[in-house]
Structure 1
Amino acid sequence: MLNISSNSSVRKLQNGKFPSLEKVERMQSSRRLIRVITGLSIALFLFFFLPWTQNIRSKGNVTTLKPNQRQQSIHSIIPGRIEKWFVQEGDNVKKGDTILYLTEVKDDYLDPDLLSNTEQQLKAKEMSVNSYMEKIKALDNQIDALALTGRLKLEQAENKLKQAYLKIKSDSMDYQAAQINFQVAEEQFKRMEKLYEDGLKSLTDLEKRKLTLQKAQAELISYENKLLTSKNEVLNAKVELTSIKSQYRDEVAKSESQKYTALSNMYDAEAVVTKLQNQYMNYSVRSGLYYVTAPQDGYIIRTVQSGIGETIKEGEEILTIMPASYDLAIAMYVQPIDIPLLEIGQHVRTQFDGWPAIVFSGWPNVSYGTYGGTVYAIDNYISDNGKYRVLVAPDTNDVPWPKALRVGAGSTSMLLLKDVPIWYELWRKINGFPPDYYKINDNGNKEKSAATDEK
């Protein structure tokens, strides 16, 4: 109704019949529109100066802080055949509870009396070792006896040799005395013979002197014979002494050889005993592996193997177990460009899947249904998805995380950075500048610093 034309149709209308048209004509819409636009402009201008918390948003999932609290696979250490299951999926088991029972499939272990037979072999070899030890002791005693007897025999032979030397001296003195007697008798016979020729002595006297000479010569020959016999006795004593030394040396060497042979056999038997002990312990430990037990308290999640009589290989996965008690954490992934903004202990706000929440990313204080956390660890190596993993632990000074929260649940986390005006945040994003963040200075206070300044 701009009333441009002079030919207005308004005059022809009866306003009383059209109350709505009458109200519209009476409204001053242009002034009100200006007021509304002005108010909105002022409100928008003031809105730009409101504080805004810079943040890094990232998707993640719930995990555990410690590796031993995460789900784990239970493997069979030995190959075998499943004979009996003692659990089913979803059961709560305690540490040491039996999960299933296996039987042997290798022919080396099928003997039901394998342990007892191995134990008997072990005892037999141990008795063999004891026998060799007793034999070695007997040979040691024999060697000691031979050494003692040899020393006595040597002393006896040495004494006999000394006696022979002394007898040589005695016979030598007798032989020398016999030589002197023979010389004296010979001189006397010559003088007697001269006196006989001169007629001074009778033939009888000469014959007597001749008989004396013959006796002296006989004694000289006898003593010479004794001296030679004594010398032969010395030689015999030396030969006997050498023979005794050689004899007992050979006997001792023979006994020592038998001793070393027994020692070698004993060491071989001890090696067999050690091998049998190892084998027996292996069999004993292996028999304990027929029962697969739970390594810790937890819940049976999924069984990979199933059925009775199914054969499983060595090291093959049997089932998966989830620990009953664990410390929750969030594994979130951030872009490499945001890694310099993160520090251990930095505050995080998290929304969990399944828990309703009203989230204002720029105003975490007015968000509803979010939970607090702190950065616990930052990986030093990039993940397969091209991002860095960050572990977030619960904030002990904030509202506890839901008790019904389970490992593997999804989450959306916000790493809180610096508080800036909204206009600055819009300007930063338009220009593609990195966010600002808080950095802890040497005094322990928070110091606001821009990532560009660090560069």
Structure 2
Amino acid sequence: MLNISNNKKARLETLQHFEAIRQLSNRPHYKILNRIILGLCLLGLLILFLPWTQNISGTGAVTTLKPNQRPQTIHTAIAGRIEKWHVQEGDYVEKGDTILFISEIKEDYFDPNLVTNTKQQVDAKKNAVKSYGNKVQSLESQMSALSSEQRLKIQQANNKIRQAVLKVKSDSMDLEAVKTQLKIATTQFDRAVQLNKEGLKPLTDVEEKRLKLQDAQAKILTQENKLLAARNDLINAEVEIGRITAEYNEKIAKSNSDKFTALSSQFDTEAQLNKLENQYVNYSIRNGMYYIKAPQSGYINRALQSGIGETVKEGAPVVSIMPASYEIAVETYVRPIDLPLLKKGDEIRVWFDGWPTIVFSGWPGMSYGTFGGRIVAIENFISPNGKYRVLIAPDKKDAPWPKQLSIGAGAQTIALLETVPVWFEVWRTLNGFPPNYYQATQKKETAKGE
């Protein structure tokens, strides 16, 4: 049967004879507890109205400000076999100090006199180029001499032509004179014959005139032969000019052909010389690559290759070195939603692992052990961890960073933004809203108002 009676007081009274029940029923502590809870609620409500500085937090590590000051790995430019180590881990080396010596393993470079032999080949090719140059100059001189000789020969032939022309004119005039004499002799002979028939001249005069006529006729034949010979000499002189021109043109063309052949050989030899000089320089530089030297002053961190006689490939890492002098910085990573709020030159608070810090991100005035920094670079490409990289340098207006910091040490960063109530920051965080985007604009307007 169910007990549905409303008489509960009677049951409580029946329990009063128990000591534990009597003590519990008379305790006043619940009033104090209620007061404590009420006080905590009021305190929490007051805290919600306290000022809170919005901030962008990030996690990173200590690095160097300049890329050439960061730890680097030294690689071999050529393949070789390790012959001797000149340093050990932890040693300090100056720029140019020898770290490691390797020997050659490629058969193309086994010859110990390779550089000397290549130098001799280069010198031989230089002499060949010089000889071809001298040959070209000799051929040019020969061509100049042939041209001068051709010019003189043509002048000589032209003189002969002028002489032949004058001789033709002279013989032509002599022929005309002989013809005139023939006419006179013929007239005298005819007159003598006529007078002899009339009995006015003796026969001896006729015979004498006949002899003169025959002599004039003979002179005409002789003079005609002389004129023909003079004309032949003129033709021969004109032909001689063509022969001289053709002969010397052929000689000059042959010399010019020899010149271009020598030039072609000279250019080919110069190309071979350039190739040999390139090989000589490459061999000389390769000889210097057997000694792996320190690119800058620093400390040997770690030997990445070990032993003697071990072979290494081209570009293989050999040893890592840490520069002796460097300017420290901090690289931190921020969320993509916070990236638009940052710009170059913004102030950043940094604290390092190993230094005592009590950090209140929303109350920077109560924080301890943080150091000032300024943004010097912001990466525009997202990193593999899904965040953006920001580089921070020490703030010269703030306290200097610890000298005991080592590269790679952990660091935390905070970028301070607007000051808002705590309840607003809680509401913003719960809703996933970003901090105030208009911080820089508000600061500028405030500065103008002042």
- Where on the TM-score scale, by shorter chain, does this alignment land: which range? 0.7 to 0.9
CA distance in 2, matches of 1:446, 1:295: 51
How far has the Cα of 1:65 moved from its partner?
A: 2.2
Provide closer, same or farther for how the CA distance between residues 370 and 438 of structure 1 changes in structure 2, counting only shifts above 3 A.
farther
| Deviation of 1:34 (Å) | 5.7
Task: For residue 257 of structure 1, report the CA deviation from its aligned partner.
Answer: 2.1
- Given the superposition, is the C-alpha separation of residues 292 and 219 from structure 1 closer, same or farther in structure 2, using an over 3 Å criterion? same
Structure 1 residue 35: deviation in Å?
Answer: 5.3
Q: What is the aligned partner in structure 2 of residue 452 from structure 1? A: none
Matched, 1:228 2:231: no
For 1:303 and 1:218, how far apart are their aligned partners in 2? 123
Residue matched to 1:16? none
Q: 1:203 to 1:288 in 2, by over 3 A?
A: same
Relative to structure 1, is the Cα distance of residues 162 and 393 closer, same or farther in structure 2, using a 3 angstrom cutoff? Answer: same
Give the SS at the match of 2:330: strand
CA distances 1:374-406 after superposition (whole Å, capped 9, x unpaired): 232222121122221222222222232222211
Determine the structure 1 residue equivalent to 2:252: 252
Q: Per the alignment, in what secondary structure is the counterpart of residue 354 of structure 1? A: coil
1:213 paired residue number: 213
Give the C-alpha shift of residue 277 in structure 1: 1.7
2:393 is equivalent to residue 401 of structure 1 = no
Residue aligning to 2:80: 80
CA apart distance, 1:254: 2.1
Which secondary structure state, in structure 2, belongs to the residue aligned with residue 295 of structure 1? coil
Residues 1:196 and 2:206 aligned together: no
Report the more deviating stretch, 151-160 or 438-447.
438-447
Matched-pair contact (CA < 8 Å) for 1:417–1:437: no
Cα drift, residue 446 of structure 1: 6.1
The answer for the alignment partner of 2:337 in structure 1 is 337
Instruction: State which drifts further: 74-83 or 260-269.
Output: 260-269
Q: Which residue of 1 aligns with 2:185?
A: 185
Tell me the TM-score normalised to structure 1 length. 0.87
Q: Which moved more, 1:123-132 or 1:338-347?
A: 338-347
Per the alignment, in what secondary structure is the counterpart of residue 439 of structure 2? Answer: strand
Q: Secondary structure at the match of 1:433?
A: coil
Measured after TM superposition, the shift of residue 243 of structure 1 is 1.7
Question: What is the distance in 2 between the residues matched to 1:70 and 1:7?
Answer: 81
**Deviation at residue 28 of structure 1 after TM alignment:** 6.8
Cα drift, residue 372 of structure 1: 2.4
Q: Could you say which residue in structure 2 is the equivalent of 1:15?
A: none
Q: How does 1:4-403 map to 2 (within 5 A)?
A: 29=29, 36-37=36-37, 39-403=39-403
Verify the 8 A CA contact 1:75 1:317 in the aligned structure 2: yes
Q: Using structure 2 for the length normalisation, give the TM-score.
A: 0.88
Q: Which amino acid in structure 2 is aligned with residue 160 of structure 1?
A: K
1:220 deviation in Å?
Answer: 1.0
For structure 1, the 5+ residue unaligned runs are 12-20, 448-455
- Which stretch has the larger CA shift, 385-394 or 190-199? 190-199
Residue 215 of structure 1 deviates from its aligned partner by: 0.7
What amino acid does structure 1 have at the position aligned with 2:192?
Answer: M
Q: Distance in 1 between matches of 2:175 and 2:321?
A: 114
**Distance in structure 2 (CA, Å) of the matches to 1:261 and 1:316:** 50
Structure 1 letter corresponding to 2:301: I
How has the CA–CA distance of structure 1 residues 255 and 85 changed in structure 2, closer, same or farther, with 3 Å as cutoff?
Answer: same
> After superposition, what is the alpha-carbon deviation per residue over 1:349-382, rounded to whole angstroms, capped at 9, x for unaligned?
2332222322222222222222222232222121
Q: Which residue of 1 aligns with 2:420?
A: 420
After superposition, the Cα gap between the structure-2 partners of 1:443 and 1:300, relative to the gap in structure 1 and judged at 3 Å, is same
Residue in structure 1 matched with residue 9 of structure 2 by the alignment: none
Give the CA RMSD over aligned residues.
2.7
Please tell me whether the aligned partners of residues 418 and 437 of structure 1 are also in contact (alpha carbons under 8 angstroms): no
Identity %: 53
**Partner letter of residue 268 of structure 2?**
D
CA 1:31–1:443: 2 relative to 1, 3 Å? closer
Q: CA deviation at 1:229?
A: 1.0
**C-alpha separation in 1, matches of 2:18 and 2:191:** 215
Shift of 1:210: 1.1
Question: CA 1:390 to 1:176, structure 2 compared with 1: closer, same or farther past 3 Å?
Answer: same
> SS at the partner of 1:408?
coil
Whichever residue aligns with residue 226 of structure 1, its letter is K
